[in-house]
Amino acid sequence: MKTEIKLIDIGTRLIAAGIFAFSVFMKFTSAAASVYVFQLIGMEPAGRYAVGILECIAIVLLLIPKTAWRGAILGSLMMFGAICMHLTIGEVNILNDGGLMFASAIVVLFCCISVLVFHKTDLETELN
């Protein structure tokens, strides 16, 4: 990998892991917004903790270069689910966060997709 691409790869992995880390902190400390969202979808508290654990796994996988593509797949799937929830449940907008949670999910999704692109050869090697 070229140096510039390697720096972008590291940057996108750190951005995704950082947003996941903040999200995990909010879930595990029972922040009001996190509790409210999971109550709306009927998954409070078990679902909140389960998603938090999955996010922790994604963080670890993203930060290890050899497993970054696995973390990117896990992160992409979780963020796709989060985006779908935000789009289908209109009451989430009551949080008055200015769309920050939705925007964060989109940023993480794009970061994870870029990690998959950067680690295409690792993914192909593993699948063959």
* pLDDT attached to residue 95: 66
Question: Which structural domain, as residue segments, surrounds residue 51?
Answer: 3-127
pLDDT over 70 (residue 94): no
Q: Where is average pLDDT lowest: 76-85, 93-102, 108-117?
A: 93-102
The pLDDT tens digits of the residues spanning 12-51 come to 999 999 999 999 999 999 998 889 889 988 899 999 999 9
The CA-based diameter of the chain, rounded to the nearest angstrom, is 47
- Reply yes or no on whether the pLDDT at 97 is more than 90: no
What integer is the mean pLDDT of 5-17? 94
| Number of domains, the chain | 1
Calculate what percentage of the chain has a pLDDT beyond 70.
95
* 34 vs 59: CA distance, rounded Å: 19
Name the DSSP class of 65. G
Q: Confidence class of residue 116 from pLDDT cuts 50, 70 and 90?
A: very high
Asked whether the predicted pLDDT for residue 92 surpasses 70, the reply is no
The answer on pLDDT for 82 being more than 70 is yes
Phi-psi category of residue 30: left, alpha or beta, with phi > 0 → left and psi -120 to 50 → alpha: left
Predicted confidence at residue 81, as pLDDT, reads 93
